[in-house]
Amino acid sequence: MQVKSILCPIDFSDFSAAAFQYALSLAEYYKARLLVLHVVEVWKYPFADYAAQEADYAKFSKALNEGGEVKLQRFLKQYPAEGVQLELVVRQGNAPNCVLSFAQNQNMELIVMGTHGRRGFDRLVLGSTTDRVIRKAACPVLVVSDTSHQALSTGPDGRHRLRRIVYCTDFSNNSEQARGYAISLAEEYGAELTLLHVAENAPDLARAEAITIERTRELDKMISATERKDLNLRFVVKFGKPYEEIVRHATEAQASLIIMTARGGDAVDRAVFGSTTYRVIQLGPCPVLAVHT
């Protein structure tokens, strides 16, 4: 996998700071340019309407942009970025729209962004910006929560290391699109790669054993003879609710990264019930690379 350009939206929260550190490590590793984007949402400022009425909106808008640039520069001083080509960008507008349009116009190959690590029901509902970017972005989106960031291991040079990667598949064409990223990253980092499939609960033990053998063979067939030469592979079949088993396995295996597909779906249904990918992002112990189908 060749990554030449990475976009990292920053809103100065703890979880966007965690995402930036991860983006910085990837930019260092791949020698990619890293664009750091801060979106000024004018509606959040109480004096916006007053400025518009007083015909001072141009000055007000300029001041907001300049303030955003100062905050970005101050933010970046906390994180040494020697050898990384950094570009700072400030835009005004709706955050998800700005992120998506900027990523498309600049042909970004990867978006790295953060999400909250809340507990309880709210934790199953992604922030609106992250939610929309995952659903609409043409490129893969790496989502890092403040909680998952704490589980990342680093080498002597301070860069993050991917030691164990979990690729989740349901054998559909959708999940196949993420397979290439899993193989490439495992080869790049010399990481252990687990191909994980979660099946529905079997009616009895004999049937469970038969399903396990059958699905393990299917997992094995997904890796060609040429690909497996440079891979440290594991094949795992679990039974139960997909998101629960994926989170449980990733936690027990101390995974560094989970790779899954992200589908569109109905926003209301997902907000209430949560798709597998969205629940894993919020409940999982490590970052999730969501590859849009």
Q: Which tokens hold the place of 222?
A: 């997904």
Only one residue has tokens 């989740």, namely: 168
218: confidence class by pLDDT, cuts 50, 70, 90: very high
Residues 227 and 141 in one domain: no
Residues 62 and 46 in one domain: yes
Give me the pLDDT at residue 106, please.
94
Residues 113 and 134 in one domain: yes
Residues 78 and 33 in one domain: yes
Give me the pLDDT at residue 45, please.
55
Residues 169 and 213 in one domain: yes
> Backbone dihedral region of 200: left (phi > 0), alpha (psi from -120 to 50 degrees) or beta?
beta
291 has which bridge partners?
261
Give the percent of the chain with pLDDT over 90.
Answer: 43
Residues 290 and 190 in one domain: yes
Residues 211 and 107 in one domain: no
Is the Cβ–Cβ distance between 280 and 246 less than 8 Å? yes
Last residue of a domain, one of 100, 133, 154: 154
Give me the pLDDT at residue 175, please.
79
- Strands 288-292 and 141-145, bridge-based pairing: antiparallel
The boundaries of the domain holding residue 29 are 1-154
Residues 148 and 6 in one domain: yes
Last residue of a domain, one of 154, 170, 202: 154
136 has which bridge partners?
none
Last residue of a domain, one of 100, 124, 154: 154
Give me the pLDDT at residue 177, please.
77
Residues 125 and 167 in one domain: no
Distance between CA atoms of residues 61 and 55, nearest Å: 11
For 19, the 3-state DSSP assignment is helix
Distance between CA atoms of residues 210 and 237, nearest Å: 11
Residue 82's CATH number: 3.40.50.620
Number of domains in the chain: 2
pLDDT score of 190 more than 50: yes
Phi then psi dihedrals of residue 261, to 5 deg? -95, 155
Residues 85 and 167 in one domain: no
pTM for the complete prediction?
0.86
Phi then psi dihedrals of residue 165, to 5 deg? -115, 135
For 235, the 3-state DSSP assignment is strand
Per-residue pLDDT tens digits for 110-155: 999 988 644 444 444 456 688 888 888 999 999 997 655 554 555 5
- Strands 153-154 and 192-199, bridge-based pairing: unpaired
Residues 177 and 149 in one domain: no
Give the residue-averaged pLDDT of 268-275. Answer: 48
Residues 61 and 122 in one domain: yes
Give the percent of the chain with pLDDT over 70.
Answer: 80
Give the residue-averaged pLDDT of 26-31. Answer: 88
Q: Which helix (H) or strand (E) holds 35?
A: strand 33-40
Per-residue pLDDT tens digits for 75-110: 888 887 777 889 999 988 888 899 999 999 999 999
Distance between CA atoms of residues 293 and 226, nearest Å: 26
Give me the pLDDT at residue 198, please.
95
Give the residue-averaged pLDDT of 168-190. Answer: 88
Give me the pLDDT at residue 262, please.
80
Distance between CA atoms of residues 46 and 44, nearest Å: 6
**Widest CA span in the chain:** 76
Give the residue-averaged pLDDT of 251-267. Answer: 81
pLDDT score of 209 more than 90: yes
